[in-house]
Amino acid sequence: MMEINRVVIPVDKSDASKIAVEQGSHIAKLLGVDVAIISIDDSQQFIASAALENKLKKEHDSSLAEFKKTVESKAVKATTEIIAGLTPAEEIVKYANDEDLIIMASHSKKGMDKFILGSVSEEVLRRVNCHVMILKPQLNEVNRS
């Protein structure tokens, strides 16, 4: 079995990401490895306003800082990075190394939502060369909107 050198946790603004960060930091501590928290910024394909882009970047930075605090509260070293790209799955695959463990939460999309939006976790699982752990949050753990 391949050695794991880092836990990579892709996040968004969902409650499911909070669960992934909690569980991912716990697993990283058990493995004795660092955590890389990444967020994919795909807004550039939709935004023409510099003011709106700056506002979104501040929100990204703020949420990543909170996730980093969660990881570091477990005495695990964490880095954060915002990656600009068009598709989250593609950017996650490009970011990951063969010795990484990607831990991400499924949003459990069904029906037309899954067909239209696709599943980032499924796409990552199919395309990446490293280990992937997909967490399926319980319905009562995630506030659905």
Give residue 111's pLDDT band: very low, low, confident or very high (50, 70, 90): low
Q: Is the pLDDT of residue 110 over 90?
A: no
- Residue 58 belongs to domain with CATH number: 3.40.50.620
Hey, what amino acid is at 64? L
Determine the pLDDT at residue 142. 47
- Give yes or no for residue 105 having a pLDDT over 80: yes
Residue 84 lies in a domain: yes
Number of domains in the chain: 1
Q: Looking at the domain assignment, is residue 1 inside a domain?
A: no
Distance CA 91, CA 104 (A): 14
Instruction: Give the percent of the chain with pLDDT over 70.
Output: 81
How does pLDDT run across 47-104, given as a tens digit for each residue? 566 777 777 788 889 999 999 999 999 999 999 999 988 889 999 999 999 999 999 9
- Where does the pLDDT of residue 117 fall: very low under 50, low under 70, confident under 90, or very high at 90 and above? very low
141 within some domain: no
Residue 125 resides in a domain: yes
Is residue 144 domain-resident? Answer: no
88-103: burial string, b at 16+ Cβ within 10 Å, e else: bbbbbbebbeeebbbb
Q: Which domain holds residue 75?
A: 6-135
What pLDDT is stored for residue 106 in this prediction?
82
Q: Report the amino acid identity of residue 32.
A: G
**Which residue, chain included where needed, has tokens 């399926």?**
136
Q: What's the mean pLDDT in 105-116? A: 58
| Averaged pLDDT for residues 14-40 | 95
Q: How many helices (H) and strands (E) does the chain have?
A: 5, 5
Q: What average pLDDT does the structure give for the chain?
A: 85
Higher pLDDT among residues 44 and 56, named by residue = 56
Decide if 100 is inside a domain: yes
Q: Is residue 41 within 8 Å of residue 12, measured between CB atoms? A: no
